Chain A
Protein backbone atom coordinates (compact mmCIF):
# COMPACT_ATOMS: atom_id res chain seq x y z
CA UNK A 1 0.00 0.00 0.00
CA UNK A 2 1.18 3.47 -0.84
CA UNK A 3 1.09 5.91 2.07
CA UNK A 4 -0.30 9.25 1.04
CA UNK A 5 -2.35 11.85 2.76
CA UNK A 6 -6.02 11.94 1.74
CA UNK A 7 -5.78 15.54 0.52
CA UNK A 8 -3.19 14.76 -2.15
CA UNK A 9 -5.21 11.74 -3.25
CA UNK A 10 -8.24 14.00 -3.65
CA UNK A 11 -6.26 16.58 -5.59
CA UNK A 12 -4.85 14.02 -7.94
CA UNK A 13 -8.22 12.34 -8.55
CA UNK A 14 -9.70 15.78 -9.11
CA UNK A 15 -7.17 16.29 -11.92
CA UNK A 16 -8.30 13.00 -13.40
CA UNK A 17 -5.27 11.00 -12.31
CA UNK A 18 -5.29 7.81 -10.25
CA UNK A 19 -2.21 6.76 -8.30
CA UNK A 20 -1.81 3.56 -10.30
CA UNK A 21 -2.48 5.32 -13.59
CA UNK A 22 -5.78 3.53 -14.19
CA UNK A 23 -8.68 5.20 -15.97
CA UNK A 24 -11.53 6.12 -13.57
CA UNK A 25 -13.79 3.35 -14.83
CA UNK A 26 -11.36 0.41 -14.92
CA UNK A 27 -10.84 -2.53 -12.62
CA UNK A 28 -7.34 -3.57 -11.61
CA UNK A 29 -6.19 -6.85 -13.15
CA UNK A 30 -8.39 -9.63 -11.82
CA UNK A 31 -7.20 -13.22 -11.68
CA UNK A 32 -9.42 -16.12 -10.65
CA UNK A 33 -8.12 -19.57 -9.84
CA UNK A 34 -10.50 -22.36 -8.83
CA UNK A 35 -10.10 -25.61 -6.82
CA UNK A 36 -7.30 -24.20 -4.72
CA UNK A 37 -8.17 -25.90 -1.40
CA UNK A 38 -8.46 -29.69 -1.47
CA UNK A 39 -10.41 -29.97 1.79
CA UNK A 40 -13.26 -27.75 0.56
CA UNK A 41 -16.15 -28.86 -1.69
CA UNK A 42 -15.49 -25.83 -3.84
CA UNK A 43 -12.88 -23.08 -3.65
CA UNK A 44 -11.34 -20.13 -5.43
CA UNK A 45 -8.55 -17.62 -5.05
CA UNK A 46 -9.12 -14.13 -6.41
CA UNK A 47 -6.49 -11.48 -6.89
CA UNK A 48 -7.53 -7.97 -7.75
CA UNK A 49 -4.35 -5.95 -7.96
CA UNK A 50 -2.77 -6.54 -4.54
CA UNK A 51 -6.02 -7.57 -2.91
CA UNK A 52 -6.14 -11.31 -2.42
CA UNK A 53 -8.93 -13.47 -1.00
CA UNK A 54 -9.62 -17.20 -0.82
CA UNK A 55 -13.13 -18.63 -0.66
CA UNK A 56 -13.96 -22.15 0.43
CA UNK A 57 -17.35 -23.87 0.32
CA UNK A 58 -18.39 -26.61 2.70
CA UNK A 59 -21.67 -28.45 2.11
CA UNK A 60 -23.03 -30.09 5.24
CA UNK A 61 -26.45 -31.14 6.49
CA UNK A 62 -28.64 -29.46 9.08
CA UNK A 63 -32.18 -28.41 10.02
CA UNK A 64 -34.03 -25.96 7.77
CA UNK A 65 -35.39 -22.62 8.97
CA UNK A 66 -38.97 -22.82 10.28
CA UNK A 67 -40.38 -20.53 7.60
CA UNK A 68 -38.58 -22.35 4.76
CA UNK A 69 -38.94 -26.07 5.67
CA UNK A 70 -38.24 -27.34 2.14
CA UNK A 71 -35.21 -25.19 1.29
CA UNK A 72 -31.50 -25.59 1.87
CA UNK A 73 -29.53 -22.90 3.68
CA UNK A 74 -26.76 -20.66 2.33
CA UNK A 75 -24.43 -18.71 4.57
CA UNK A 76 -21.68 -16.41 3.37
CA UNK A 77 -19.10 -15.04 5.75
CA UNK A 78 -15.98 -12.97 5.22
CA UNK A 79 -13.16 -13.18 7.71
CA UNK A 80 -10.69 -10.33 8.02
CA UNK A 81 -7.75 -12.32 9.36
CA UNK A 82 -5.01 -10.20 10.98
CA UNK A 83 -2.35 -11.38 8.54
CA UNK A 84 -4.09 -9.48 5.74
CA UNK A 85 -3.58 -5.98 7.07
CA UNK A 86 -2.04 -4.02 9.91
CA UNK A 87 -5.54 -2.66 10.52
CA UNK A 88 -7.20 -6.03 11.14
CA UNK A 89 -7.43 -7.35 14.68
CA UNK A 90 -8.31 -10.78 15.94
CA UNK A 91 -11.49 -11.17 17.93
CA UNK A 92 -15.13 -10.62 17.03
CA UNK A 93 -15.77 -9.41 13.45
CA UNK A 94 -15.56 -5.67 12.87
CA UNK A 95 -18.36 -3.61 11.32
CA UNK A 96 -16.44 -3.63 8.06
CA UNK A 97 -16.13 -7.43 8.04
CA UNK A 98 -19.83 -7.80 8.81
CA UNK A 99 -20.71 -5.44 5.95
CA UNK A 100 -18.55 -7.32 3.43
CA UNK A 101 -20.11 -10.63 4.55
CA UNK A 102 -23.65 -9.38 4.40
CA UNK A 103 -23.35 -7.61 1.04
CA UNK A 104 -21.62 -10.64 -0.54
CA UNK A 105 -24.34 -12.86 0.91
CA UNK A 106 -27.12 -10.51 -0.25
CA UNK A 107 -26.04 -10.48 -3.89
CA UNK A 108 -25.95 -14.28 -4.10
CA UNK A 109 -29.07 -14.92 -2.04
CA UNK A 110 -31.31 -12.24 -3.58
CA UNK A 111 -30.42 -13.23 -7.14
CA UNK A 112 -31.96 -16.64 -6.32
CA UNK A 113 -29.40 -18.37 -8.57
CA UNK A 114 -28.89 -21.19 -6.07
CA UNK A 115 -31.78 -23.64 -6.31
CA UNK A 116 -32.53 -23.99 -2.60
CA UNK A 117 -35.46 -26.38 -3.16
CA UNK A 118 -33.07 -28.91 -4.71
CA UNK A 119 -31.00 -28.77 -1.53
CA UNK A 120 -33.80 -30.19 0.59
CA UNK A 121 -33.33 -33.78 1.79
CA UNK A 122 -36.34 -34.33 4.10
CA UNK A 123 -38.74 -31.34 4.31
CA UNK A 124 -38.85 -29.82 7.78
CA UNK A 125 -36.08 -32.08 9.03
CA UNK A 126 -32.94 -32.19 7.00
CA UNK A 127 -31.50 -29.97 4.29
CA UNK A 128 -28.11 -29.16 2.77
CA UNK A 129 -26.30 -26.30 4.47
CA UNK A 130 -23.97 -24.45 2.12
CA UNK A 131 -21.31 -22.47 3.96
CA UNK A 132 -19.19 -20.05 1.94
CA UNK A 133 -16.29 -18.68 3.94
CA UNK A 134 -14.04 -16.06 2.43
CA UNK A 135 -10.67 -15.37 4.00
CA UNK A 136 -9.04 -12.07 3.17
CA UNK A 137 -5.33 -12.77 2.70
CA UNK A 138 -4.13 -9.32 1.63
CA UNK A 139 -6.21 -6.16 1.80
CA UNK A 140 -5.60 -3.56 -0.86
CA UNK A 141 -9.16 -2.29 -0.98
CA UNK A 142 -12.47 -3.21 -2.60
CA UNK A 143 -12.90 -6.37 -0.56
CA UNK A 144 -16.61 -6.59 -1.39
CA UNK A 145 -15.99 -7.19 -5.11
CA UNK A 146 -13.07 -9.55 -4.49
CA UNK A 147 -15.04 -11.58 -1.93
CA UNK A 148 -18.13 -11.72 -4.13
CA UNK A 149 -16.12 -12.95 -7.13
CA UNK A 150 -14.35 -15.56 -4.99
CA UNK A 151 -17.63 -16.74 -3.42
CA UNK A 152 -19.22 -17.07 -6.86
CA UNK A 153 -16.28 -18.94 -8.41
CA UNK A 154 -16.15 -21.28 -5.42
CA UNK A 155 -19.88 -21.99 -5.62
CA UNK A 156 -19.70 -22.63 -9.38
CA UNK A 157 -17.08 -25.32 -8.81
CA UNK A 158 -18.73 -26.85 -5.73
CA UNK A 159 -19.36 -30.59 -5.78
CA UNK A 160 -22.19 -31.65 -3.46
CA UNK A 161 -21.16 -34.68 -1.37
CA UNK A 162 -23.22 -37.85 -1.61
CA UNK A 163 -25.09 -39.12 1.44
CA UNK A 164 -24.93 -42.76 2.55
CA UNK A 165 -28.02 -44.83 3.50
CA UNK A 166 -28.09 -43.34 6.99
CA UNK A 167 -27.92 -39.82 5.62
CA UNK A 168 -24.31 -39.21 6.58
CA UNK A 169 -21.94 -37.28 4.34
CA UNK A 170 -19.53 -39.33 2.26
CA UNK A 171 -16.33 -38.50 0.43
CA UNK A 172 -18.00 -39.11 -2.93
CA UNK A 173 -19.66 -36.37 -4.94
CA UNK A 174 -23.21 -36.32 -6.19
CA UNK A 175 -22.70 -33.60 -8.78
CA UNK A 176 -22.33 -29.81 -8.97
CA UNK A 177 -24.29 -27.38 -6.82
CA UNK A 178 -27.55 -26.46 -8.63
CA UNK A 179 -26.99 -22.89 -9.89
CA UNK A 180 -28.46 -20.91 -12.75
CA UNK A 181 -26.72 -17.54 -12.78
CA UNK A 182 -23.62 -15.62 -11.80
CA UNK A 183 -24.18 -12.64 -9.48
CA UNK A 184 -21.21 -10.33 -8.93
CA UNK A 185 -20.73 -7.09 -7.04
CA UNK A 186 -19.35 -3.96 -8.67
CA UNK A 187 -18.16 -1.21 -6.35
CA UNK A 188 -17.82 2.48 -7.18
CA UNK A 189 -16.53 5.30 -5.02
CA UNK A 190 -16.93 9.04 -5.12
CA UNK A 191 -13.93 11.22 -4.39
CA UNK A 192 -14.75 14.89 -4.76
CA UNK A 193 -16.72 15.09 -7.99
CA UNK A 194 -15.23 11.99 -9.60
CA UNK A 195 -16.74 8.52 -9.63
CA UNK A 196 -14.12 5.78 -9.72
CA UNK A 197 -14.42 2.01 -10.09
CA UNK A 198 -12.67 -0.47 -7.81
CA UNK A 199 -11.07 1.84 -5.21
CA UNK A 200 -7.75 0.67 -3.74
CA UNK A 201 -7.05 0.81 -0.02
CA UNK A 202 -5.07 4.03 -0.44
CA UNK A 203 -7.89 5.63 -2.45
CA UNK A 204 -10.26 4.33 0.22
CA UNK A 205 -8.79 6.83 2.69
CA UNK A 206 -10.11 9.70 0.57
CA UNK A 207 -13.49 8.22 -0.37
CA UNK A 208 -16.59 10.34 0.33
CA UNK A 209 -19.16 7.73 -0.59
CA UNK A 210 -19.23 4.22 -1.97
CA UNK A 211 -21.84 2.22 -3.86
CA UNK A 212 -21.86 -1.51 -4.46
CA UNK A 213 -24.23 -2.88 -7.10
CA UNK A 214 -24.91 -6.59 -7.55
CA UNK A 215 -25.80 -7.75 -11.07
CA UNK A 216 -26.43 -11.04 -12.86
CA UNK A 217 -27.65 -12.15 -16.25
CA UNK A 218 -31.00 -13.81 -16.88
CA UNK A 219 -32.39 -14.68 -20.31
CA UNK A 220 -29.79 -12.43 -21.93
CA UNK A 221 -30.79 -9.42 -19.82
CA UNK A 222 -28.90 -7.79 -16.97
CA UNK A 223 -30.76 -7.85 -13.68
CA UNK A 224 -29.88 -6.05 -10.44
CA UNK A 225 -30.03 -8.03 -7.21
CA UNK A 226 -28.40 -5.95 -4.47
CA UNK A 227 -27.19 -2.46 -3.62
CA UNK A 228 -25.34 -1.03 -0.68
CA UNK A 229 -24.20 2.52 -0.12
CA UNK A 230 -21.25 3.11 2.19
CA UNK A 231 -19.11 6.05 3.20
CA UNK A 232 -19.81 9.19 5.15
CA UNK A 233 -21.27 11.37 2.40
CA UNK A 234 -24.08 11.02 -0.10
CA UNK A 235 -24.69 10.65 -3.82
CA UNK A 236 -26.90 12.77 -6.05
CA UNK A 237 -29.66 10.74 -7.73
CA UNK A 238 -28.00 11.48 -11.07
CA UNK A 239 -24.75 9.91 -9.84
CA UNK A 240 -26.64 6.83 -8.67
CA UNK A 241 -28.16 6.47 -12.13
CA UNK A 242 -24.76 6.83 -13.76
CA UNK A 243 -23.36 4.00 -11.61
CA UNK A 244 -26.38 1.78 -12.28
CA UNK A 245 -25.68 2.16 -16.01
CA UNK A 246 -21.96 1.46 -15.58
CA UNK A 247 -22.56 -1.59 -13.37
CA UNK A 248 -24.33 -3.39 -16.24
CA UNK A 249 -21.22 -3.43 -18.41
CA UNK A 250 -18.63 -3.81 -15.63
CA UNK A 251 -20.42 -6.79 -14.12
CA UNK A 252 -20.42 -8.46 -17.52
CA UNK A 253 -16.64 -8.13 -17.79
CA UNK A 254 -16.16 -9.70 -14.36
CA UNK A 255 -18.47 -12.60 -15.19
CA UNK A 256 -16.39 -13.34 -18.30
CA UNK A 257 -13.27 -13.64 -16.16
CA UNK A 258 -15.04 -16.01 -13.74
CA UNK A 259 -16.46 -18.06 -16.64
CA UNK A 260 -13.03 -18.42 -18.19
CA UNK A 261 -11.48 -19.65 -14.92
CA UNK A 262 -14.27 -22.15 -14.31
CA UNK A 263 -14.28 -23.44 -17.90
CA UNK A 264 -10.52 -23.81 -17.97
CA UNK A 265 -10.71 -26.12 -14.97
CA UNK A 266 -13.32 -28.31 -16.65
Chain B
Protein backbone atom coordinates (compact mmCIF):
# COMPACT_ATOMS: atom_id res chain seq x y z
CA UNK B 1 0.00 0.00 0.00
CA UNK B 2 1.16 3.47 -0.81
CA UNK B 3 1.33 5.55 2.35
CA UNK B 4 2.10 8.90 0.70
CA UNK B 5 0.68 10.01 -2.64
CA UNK B 6 1.24 13.46 -4.16
CA UNK B 7 2.42 14.79 -0.80
CA UNK B 8 -0.71 13.58 1.01
CA UNK B 9 -0.52 10.80 3.58
CA UNK B 10 -2.92 7.87 3.68
CA UNK B 11 -4.86 9.42 6.55
CA UNK B 12 -5.27 12.67 4.61
CA UNK B 13 -2.56 14.71 6.36
CA UNK B 14 0.18 16.76 4.74
CA UNK B 15 3.74 15.63 5.46
CA UNK B 16 4.24 18.35 8.08
CA UNK B 17 0.81 18.14 9.67
CA UNK B 18 0.03 16.93 13.19
CA UNK B 19 -2.93 14.72 14.00
CA UNK B 20 -5.88 16.46 15.72
CA UNK B 21 -5.12 17.21 19.35
CA UNK B 22 -7.22 17.52 22.46
CA UNK B 23 -6.11 18.32 25.99
CA UNK B 24 -8.05 18.51 29.22
CA UNK B 25 -6.77 19.47 32.66
CA UNK B 26 -8.22 18.10 35.92
CA UNK B 27 -9.60 14.75 34.82
CA UNK B 28 -9.06 12.75 38.05
CA UNK B 29 -10.45 13.51 41.51
CA UNK B 30 -7.84 11.96 43.81
CA UNK B 31 -4.63 13.13 42.16
CA UNK B 32 -3.21 16.52 43.17
CA UNK B 33 -3.08 17.33 39.49
CA UNK B 34 -4.15 15.47 36.36
CA UNK B 35 -4.57 15.84 32.64
CA UNK B 36 -5.53 13.99 29.49
CA UNK B 37 -3.72 14.51 26.21
CA UNK B 38 -4.95 13.05 22.95
CA UNK B 39 -3.10 13.03 19.65
CA UNK B 40 -5.12 11.27 16.97
CA UNK B 41 -5.87 7.88 18.45
CA UNK B 42 -3.15 7.97 21.08
CA UNK B 43 -4.54 8.84 24.50
CA UNK B 44 -2.61 9.40 27.72
CA UNK B 45 -3.79 10.35 31.19
CA UNK B 46 -1.29 11.65 33.73
CA UNK B 47 -1.75 12.07 37.46
CA UNK B 48 0.58 13.87 39.86
CA UNK B 49 0.89 13.29 43.59
CA UNK B 50 3.08 15.56 45.64
CA UNK B 51 5.32 17.15 46.63
CA UNK B 52 4.73 14.64 49.42
CA UNK B 53 6.65 12.53 51.96
CA UNK B 54 9.07 10.07 50.46
CA UNK B 55 8.46 6.36 50.86
CA UNK B 56 10.63 4.29 50.90
CA UNK B 57 12.48 6.64 53.21
CA UNK B 58 15.97 5.84 51.89
CA UNK B 59 15.12 7.56 48.59
CA UNK B 60 14.66 10.87 50.38
CA UNK B 61 17.15 13.63 49.56
CA UNK B 62 17.93 16.16 52.27
CA UNK B 63 18.32 19.17 49.98
CA UNK B 64 15.85 18.63 47.18
CA UNK B 65 12.72 16.91 45.99
CA UNK B 66 12.98 13.75 43.92
CA UNK B 67 10.96 13.38 40.72
CA UNK B 68 9.62 9.90 40.06
CA UNK B 69 7.95 9.11 36.76
CA UNK B 70 6.13 5.99 35.78
CA UNK B 71 5.00 5.24 32.25
CA UNK B 72 2.52 2.41 31.94
CA UNK B 73 0.58 1.08 29.00
CA UNK B 74 -2.87 -0.35 29.68
CA UNK B 75 -3.16 -3.98 28.49
CA UNK B 76 -6.04 -3.01 26.19
CA UNK B 77 -4.27 -0.02 24.63
CA UNK B 78 -2.92 -1.94 21.64
CA UNK B 79 -4.57 -4.09 18.96
CA UNK B 80 -3.20 -7.23 20.57
CA UNK B 81 -3.37 -7.27 24.36
CA UNK B 82 -0.05 -6.39 25.94
CA UNK B 83 1.06 -8.04 29.15
CA UNK B 84 0.47 -5.75 32.14
CA UNK B 85 3.29 -4.57 34.36
CA UNK B 86 6.72 -3.03 34.03
CA UNK B 87 9.07 -4.19 31.28
CA UNK B 88 12.39 -2.99 29.89
CA UNK B 89 10.71 -0.72 27.39
CA UNK B 90 8.51 1.00 29.97
CA UNK B 91 11.44 1.38 32.37
CA UNK B 92 13.44 3.16 29.68
CA UNK B 93 10.51 5.40 28.74
CA UNK B 94 9.89 6.29 32.39
CA UNK B 95 13.53 7.35 32.61
CA UNK B 96 13.65 9.47 29.46
CA UNK B 97 10.33 11.04 30.48
CA UNK B 98 11.81 12.05 33.82
CA UNK B 99 14.85 13.57 32.12
CA UNK B 100 12.61 15.44 29.70
CA UNK B 101 10.63 17.09 32.50
CA UNK B 102 13.32 17.59 35.18
CA UNK B 103 14.75 20.89 33.84
CA UNK B 104 11.34 22.52 34.40
CA UNK B 105 11.14 21.92 38.12
CA UNK B 106 12.49 23.78 41.15
CA UNK B 107 13.44 20.63 43.03
CA UNK B 108 15.62 22.57 45.50
CA UNK B 109 12.52 24.33 46.83
CA UNK B 110 10.96 21.12 48.16
CA UNK B 111 13.60 19.22 50.14
CA UNK B 112 12.78 15.76 51.51
CA UNK B 113 9.77 15.31 49.28
CA UNK B 114 8.80 13.28 46.23
CA UNK B 115 6.88 14.42 43.20
CA UNK B 116 5.26 11.39 41.61
CA UNK B 117 4.09 11.52 38.01
CA UNK B 118 2.08 8.55 36.78
CA UNK B 119 1.39 8.24 33.07
CA UNK B 120 -1.17 5.76 31.80
CA UNK B 121 -1.45 5.11 28.07
CA UNK B 122 -5.09 4.23 27.46
CA UNK B 123 -4.89 3.88 23.71
CA UNK B 124 -1.70 3.51 21.71
CA UNK B 125 -1.30 4.59 18.11
CA UNK B 126 2.38 5.64 17.98
CA UNK B 127 4.13 8.49 19.86
CA UNK B 128 2.89 7.23 23.22
CA UNK B 129 5.92 8.59 25.09
CA UNK B 130 5.35 12.03 23.53
CA UNK B 131 1.68 12.12 24.41
CA UNK B 132 2.50 10.90 27.93
CA UNK B 133 4.96 13.75 28.43
CA UNK B 134 2.45 16.30 27.15
CA UNK B 135 -0.13 15.04 29.64
CA UNK B 136 2.44 14.92 32.47
CA UNK B 137 3.48 18.56 32.05
CA UNK B 138 -0.17 19.63 32.24
CA UNK B 139 -0.80 17.46 35.29
CA UNK B 140 2.21 19.03 37.06
CA UNK B 141 0.86 22.50 36.33
CA UNK B 142 -2.58 21.42 37.53
CA UNK B 143 -1.03 20.15 40.77
CA UNK B 144 0.38 23.62 41.35
CA UNK B 145 3.99 22.43 41.15
CA UNK B 146 6.04 25.54 40.28
CA UNK B 147 7.66 25.26 36.85
CA UNK B 148 10.09 27.30 34.78
CA UNK B 149 8.01 26.85 31.64
CA UNK B 150 6.59 24.21 29.39
CA UNK B 151 7.94 21.13 27.67
CA UNK B 152 6.12 19.46 24.81
CA UNK B 153 7.04 16.29 23.01
CA UNK B 154 6.50 15.36 19.39
CA UNK B 155 7.96 12.90 16.91
CA UNK B 156 8.97 13.05 13.27
CA UNK B 157 10.30 10.34 11.02
CA UNK B 158 10.67 8.86 7.59
CA UNK B 159 7.91 7.12 5.65
CA UNK B 160 8.54 5.87 2.13
CA UNK B 161 11.69 7.97 1.95
CA UNK B 162 9.93 11.21 2.95
CA UNK B 163 10.42 13.21 6.12
CA UNK B 164 7.07 13.45 7.91
CA UNK B 165 5.75 14.89 11.16
CA UNK B 166 3.92 12.81 13.79
CA UNK B 167 3.97 9.23 12.53
CA UNK B 168 0.75 7.28 13.13
CA UNK B 169 -1.06 4.05 12.28
CA UNK B 170 0.46 2.10 9.40
CA UNK B 171 3.29 4.64 9.20
CA UNK B 172 4.45 3.39 12.57
CA UNK B 173 4.68 -0.27 11.58
CA UNK B 174 5.80 0.27 7.98
CA UNK B 175 7.76 3.52 8.29
CA UNK B 176 11.54 3.59 8.21
CA UNK B 177 12.42 5.87 11.10
CA UNK B 178 10.95 7.40 14.24
CA UNK B 179 12.54 10.27 16.16
CA UNK B 180 10.77 11.67 19.23
CA UNK B 181 11.96 14.90 20.84
CA UNK B 182 10.87 16.97 23.82
CA UNK B 183 11.39 20.70 23.47
CA UNK B 184 11.73 23.34 26.18
CA UNK B 185 11.16 26.72 24.48
CA UNK B 186 12.09 28.96 27.41
CA UNK B 187 15.64 27.62 27.19
CA UNK B 188 15.48 26.65 23.51
CA UNK B 189 16.66 23.17 24.38
CA UNK B 190 15.84 19.61 23.43
CA UNK B 191 15.33 17.58 26.63
CA UNK B 192 14.45 14.24 25.02
CA UNK B 193 15.80 12.76 21.83
CA UNK B 194 15.72 9.20 20.62
CA UNK B 195 15.98 7.68 17.19
CA UNK B 196 15.25 4.28 15.68
CA UNK B 197 15.95 3.73 11.99
CA UNK B 198 18.40 4.65 9.27
CA UNK B 199 19.10 8.15 7.99
CA UNK B 200 21.99 10.39 6.93
CA UNK B 201 23.52 13.54 8.35
CA UNK B 202 21.43 16.18 6.54
CA UNK B 203 18.19 14.27 6.91
CA UNK B 204 18.74 13.65 10.64
CA UNK B 205 19.07 17.40 11.18
CA UNK B 206 15.95 18.08 9.11
CA UNK B 207 13.91 15.55 11.12
CA UNK B 208 15.02 17.05 14.45
CA UNK B 209 13.99 20.53 13.30
CA UNK B 210 10.59 19.28 12.12
CA UNK B 211 9.90 17.47 15.40
CA UNK B 212 10.85 20.61 17.35
CA UNK B 213 8.44 22.63 15.23
CA UNK B 214 5.66 20.13 15.99
CA UNK B 215 6.42 20.36 19.71
CA UNK B 216 6.09 24.16 19.57
CA UNK B 217 2.57 23.78 18.17
CA UNK B 218 1.69 21.35 20.95
CA UNK B 219 2.68 23.86 23.61
CA UNK B 220 -0.13 26.10 22.41
CA UNK B 221 -2.59 23.24 22.92
CA UNK B 222 -1.22 22.70 26.43
CA UNK B 223 -1.54 26.38 27.29
CA UNK B 224 -5.10 26.55 26.00
CA UNK B 225 -6.10 23.54 28.11
CA UNK B 226 -4.76 25.24 31.22
CA UNK B 227 -6.48 28.52 30.35
CA UNK B 228 -9.70 26.58 29.86
CA UNK B 229 -9.61 25.24 33.42
CA UNK B 230 -8.15 28.25 35.19
CA UNK B 231 -9.84 31.15 33.38
CA UNK B 232 -11.33 33.78 35.63
CA UNK B 233 -14.98 34.57 35.21
CA UNK B 234 -15.41 37.83 33.34
CA UNK B 235 -11.69 38.17 32.51
CA UNK B 236 -10.39 38.37 28.96
| Chain A positions near chain B (C-beta within 8 angstroms) | 93, 95, 98-99, 101-102, 106, 110-112, 211, 221-237, 240-241, 244-245, 248
Q: CB-CB < 8 A to B37: which residues of A?
A: none
Interface stretch (choices B4-12, B54-62, B202-210): B202-210
Does the CB pair A222–B196 fall under 8 Å? no
Does the CB pair A241–B196 fall under 8 Å? no
Choose from B88, B94, B195 the contact partner of A102 (Cβ within 8 Å). B88
Q: CB-CB < 8 A to A95: which residues of B?
A: 91-92, 94-95
Give bound CA distance, A237 to B142, whole Å. Answer: 29
**Chain A proximity mask over B178-204: 1 for CB below 8 Å, otherwise 0:** 010000100111111111111111001
Does the CB pair B193–A228 fall under 8 Å? yes
Does the CB pair A236–B96 fall under 8 Å? no
Choose from B99, B201, B209, B212 the contact partner of A224 (Cβ within 8 Å). B201
Closest to B203 in A: A224
A263 CB, nearest partner CB in chain B, Å = 26
Main secondary structure of the interface of A (DSSP, over half): mixed
* Contact A233 to B191, CB < 8 A, known contacts A222-B200, A223-B198: yes
Give bound CA distance, A110 to B88, whole Å. Answer: 18
Closest to B88 in A: A98
Q: CB-CB < 8 A to B204: which residues of A?
A: 224, 227, 244
Q: Is B111 an interface residue (CB 8 A)?
A: no
Give bound CA distance, A219 to B193, whole Å. Answer: 27
Q: List 6 A-B contacts (CB under 8 A).
A: A98-B95, A222-B201, A224-B199, A228-B194, A233-B102, A237-B212
Does the CB pair A221–B91 fall under 8 Å? no
Give bound CA distance, A187 to B196, whole Å. Answer: 16
Q: Is B40 an interface residue (CB 8 A)?
A: no
Closest to B182 in A: A234
- Tell me the residues in window 81-111 of chain B with beta carbons closer than 8 Å to chain A beta carbons: 88-89, 91-92, 94-96, 99, 102-103
Q: CB-CB < 8 A to B205: which residues of A?
A: 240-241, 244
Choose from B91, B94, B190, B196 the contact partner of A234 (Cβ within 8 Å). B190
B64 CB, nearest partner CB in chain A, Å = 12
* Contact A224 to B195, CB < 8 A, known contacts A231-B99, A232-B103: yes
Choose from B94, B200, B208, B209 the contact partner of A221 (Cβ within 8 Å). B200
A244 CB, nearest partner CB in chain B, Å = 6
A79 CB, nearest partner CB in chain B, Å = 13
Q: CB-CB < 8 A to B191: which residues of A?
A: 229, 233-234
In this complex, the member of B179, B188, B191 whose beta carbon has the largest number of chain A beta carbons within 10 angstroms is B191
Q: CB-CB < 8 A to A211: which residues of B?
A: 193
10 interchain residue pairs of minimum CB distance:
A234-B189, A227-B195, A229-B193, A234-B191, A232-B102, A95-B95, A98-B91, A98-B88, A110-B196, A224-B199
B182 CB, nearest partner CB in chain A, Å = 8
Q: CB-CB < 8 A to B196: which residues of A?
A: 106, 110, 226
Give bound CA distance, A223 to B208, whole Å. Answer: 16
Closest to B87 in A: A98
